[in-house]
A = this chain, B = another copy of it.
Amino acid sequence: MVVEQEIDTVVVDAQRLEDFVVRVLTTLGMTAQNAKETAEVLIKADITGVDSHGVPRLPNYVARIKAGTVKPNPEVRVVHELASTALVDGGNGIGMVVGRRAMAIAIQKAQATGAGFVSVRNSSHYGIAGYYARMALPHNMIGISMTNVGAGGGTPATYGRTGLFGTNPIAVAAPTRKDPPFVMDFATTVVAFGKLQIAMRRGQKVPLGWVMDREGNLTDNPNTRADGGYMLPLGGLKETGGHKGYGLMLLVDILTAALSGAAFGATFAKPNEATRATGSAANTGHFFGAFRIDGFRPLEEFLDAMDEMYQVIHSSEKLPGHDRIYVHGEIDWETEAHRRVHGIPLDIPTYKGLEAVSKDMGVPLDIKK
């Protein structure tokens, strides 16, 4: 059962919210096709409950497109390719348009050879990583999606205290038969930055393990970053496996940036060959992959195994206070089903942000459920 959070919200209709985003983007000069593709990615975040990655970011995207640092209709170009790999230049385009084209190339290559992998440079924020991984599912493929993220207030290496890594998310999606598809989509920090922001706003303490102070000690103070503290990588400090999260963050930077020529970690703010030509463009890097299930095993046998795996997990013994065990993707799936019918609750600052965009762009905001 989906229980929405008890905060002040405005409940909006998913389809009308998407239509609003499309109109805003086309008013900015985006083609109808690009606007539709971008809006779908944004609304997928809002409707699946990834409330930090959908329309709350629209004002920022609008500002960047207006400033010219993000191109609404980029030339997305294959720079180099082999049968199963490609380097794609995103032409400083909006991440959703770049990401969808690059993932489509990975899928096309997987169709031909069994596996396709694409590394992308000169892109920008692409929304939820999971969107692109999910694109593989209708093709009966396993999908992979990663992006690096600018290091503003980022995470240091183990034993370090210079913020080097963004929240560098990793997403993988795999098809299922009876259950919602497997969709793992997470930041390689302990928690996404949005969760820390909520605690800061509400003056709440955070669990030990989320952040460290500038001496490297765990603290429950969400404001520690103001005093030189940092968000920790998945695993926390070294003694609880934080070097593993640090490894995953670095791996994302290797696959999205070292392999493509995108900026990475602390170099995000530093002009390099790629960013010099384009002003203050982010030069974000992505990495996409797709495997054909039947490149390994008949699809039906794979789905049988997934059925069995889910059955074993769901029926395993629960801890006290819990009556259900989730597999990755189930909560998103149920949230989407609920919000499609009952609407998407937007918090007040997000709704006010959309009102400002509406006024600025002259696009009426008629989205309330």
Contact = CB atoms under 8 A, between A and B. Distances in A.
Given A113-B113, A296-B86, A215 B320 contact: yes
Contact of A251 (B184, B239, B244): B184
Interface stretch (A18-26, A29-37, A324-332, A354-362): A324-332
Contacts of A313: 157, 160, 164, 250, 265
Interface in A196-249: 207-210, 215-216, 234-236, 239-241, 243-245, 247-248
Contacts of A162: 316-317
Interface stretch (A1-9, A51-59, A275-283, A297-305): A297-305
A308 interface: yes
A230 to B, nearest CB: 10
Given A84-B115, A159-B325, A245-B234, A164 B259 contact: no
Contacts of A245: 234
A178 interface: no
A61 to B, nearest CB: 27
A324 B159 contact: yes
Contacts of A114: 81-85, 117
Interface of A: 80-87, 110, 112-117, 119, 142, 156-162, 164, 172, 174, 182, 184, 186, 190-191, 207-210, 215-216, 234-236, 239-241, 243-245, 247-248, 250-251, 253-255, 257-261, 264-267, 291-293, 295-297, 301-302, 305-306, 308-309, 312-313, 316-322, 324-328
A197 to B, nearest CB: 17
Given A84-B295, A184-B244, 18 more contacts: A82-B113, A84-B84, A84-B110, A84-B115, A84-B116, A87-B296, A158-B326, A160-B313, A160-B318, A182-B250, A184-B250, A186-B241, A234-B241, A235-B235, A236-B236, A243-B326, A250-B313, A265-B313
A182 B292 contact: no
A306 B244 CA distance: 19
Contacts of A119: 296-297
Given A209-B209, A313-B164, A182 B254 contact: yes
A322 B317 CA distance: 43
Contacts of A316: 156-157, 160-162, 164, 266
B250 A327 contact: yes
Contact of A115 (B85, B186, B318, B327): B85
Contacts of A190: 235, 240-241
Nearest to A255: B142
Contacts of A142: 254-255, 259
A292 B84 CA distance: 10
Nearest to A165: B313
A312 B116 CA distance: 31
27 contacts: A81-B114, A82-B113, A82-B292, A83-B83, A84-B113, A84-B116, A85-B296, A87-B296, A113-B115, A115-B116, A142-B255, A156-B316, A157-B325, A160-B322, A160-B325, A164-B316, A184-B251, A186-B244, A186-B247, A191-B241, A207-B239, A209-B239, A234-B235, A234-B244, A234-B245, A259-B296, A264-B305
